[in-house]
Amino acid sequence: MSVVIPVYGGEFTLGSVVEEIARFAEPSVTPDGHRYQVIETLLVYDNGRDRSDETIRELADKYPFVRPVWLSRNFGQHPATLAGMASSSGDWIVTLDEDGQHDPADMAAFLDTALRENVQLVYAEATNPPPHSAFRNLTSKGAKWLFATVLAGGATASFQSYRLVLGEVGRSVAAYAGSGVYLDVAMQWVSGEPAVCPVELREEGDRRSGYSLRRLLSHFWRLVLSSGTRGLRLVSVLGVVFALAGLGYAAYLVVASTTGDVPQGWTSTMVVVLFSTGAVLFSLGIIAEYIGVAVNMAMGKPPYLIVGDPADGPLGSRRPRPRP
């Protein structure tokens, strides 16, 4: 197994997570009797807000199975996960968070589920409420329901950041995924129907969540744009609905004019104009977002860029600079 952990704010939590993983760096056996071993843990530094980079270097010096992966700038959780998957070498890839809410001991159950059900992708299915606010949990469920029933047409909504994927599938997705793609959508394009494994989520470590409301909305919008062209089809449906509504309103005015009961004033007209104009502009915005994604991919914008340790390069301070 290769374990991939995107790191943004893990200065105080990452050490305990890696310490737990260290137990499985030796050959272990799953409850179903399958032998497995964590051969590497890739800590992908996403240029966060704290001293996580120093924590990564200390862990790499302490544990031989820890491999740092350095990104050129902050790209986000999904691109950082893709970078770690692209750098992995295990038969299976496990992705988990840096905050300690995912128990590494559940990796064995993930593997049993994958082999028992003959699937390439397994997601954690929480048996307890996630350790977030009630509002965030509710909106998360709503977004996943919208994706599964409206946008993706039957795709599974049981996805989260704790997952197990077949190594060659994960590396292929990391190699071919375009800029702005939602990771779980991309994996379901190629892996077939995933399975779920029940786990109990733990409390997050003593740190503030890295997801503000703006980041969460951006996350959801990436999910919408990555789910295919159904968003554009919904725009077409919206146009048909407003056209029919316009015909209905016109028929009403014709009938009203024959009876002499023609509406007076501009109130109803202005309401229709403003509402329809808003719908048109909203539709154009959706189309523009799709065009933007296509333009970024056509121009070759990378979803991530792996570099060397900044502390060992020209921008760092570890290597002494030659005197002029």
pLDDT digits (tens, 9 = 90+) for 70-106: 999 999 888 999 999 999 999 999 999 999 999 999 9
Instruction: Find the helix or strand (DSSP H, E) in which 246 lies.
Output: helix 230-259
Per residue in 165-204, pLDDT (tens digit) is: 999 999 999 988 877 777 888 888 888 889 999 999 888 6
Question: In this structure, how many other beta carbons lie within 10 angstroms of the beta carbon of residue 238?
Answer: 15
Question: How close are the terminal C-alpha atoms of the chain, in Å?
Answer: 48
Domains defined for the chain, CATH in brackets: 1-324 (3.90.550.10)
C-alpha 132/C-alpha 208 separation (Å) is 11
CA distance 64 to 131: 32
User: How do residues 121-157 score in pLDDT, each as one tens digit?
Assistant: 999 998 887 655 565 555 666 555 555 555 555 555 5
| Residue 160 pLDDT level (bands cut at 50, 70, 90) | confident
What is the model's pLDDT at position 153?
52
Nearest partner of 228 among 172, 301, 151, 154, judged by Cα: 151
Distance, in Å, from the CA atom of 287 to the CA atom of 284, rounded to the nearest integer, reads 5
Q: CA-CA distances (angstroms) from residue 99 to 128, 198, 272, 293?
A: 17, 19, 50, 31
Q: What is the DSSP string of 39-80?
A: -EEEEEE---SSSHHHHHHHHHHH-TTEEEEEESS---HHHH
> What is this structure's pTM?
0.74
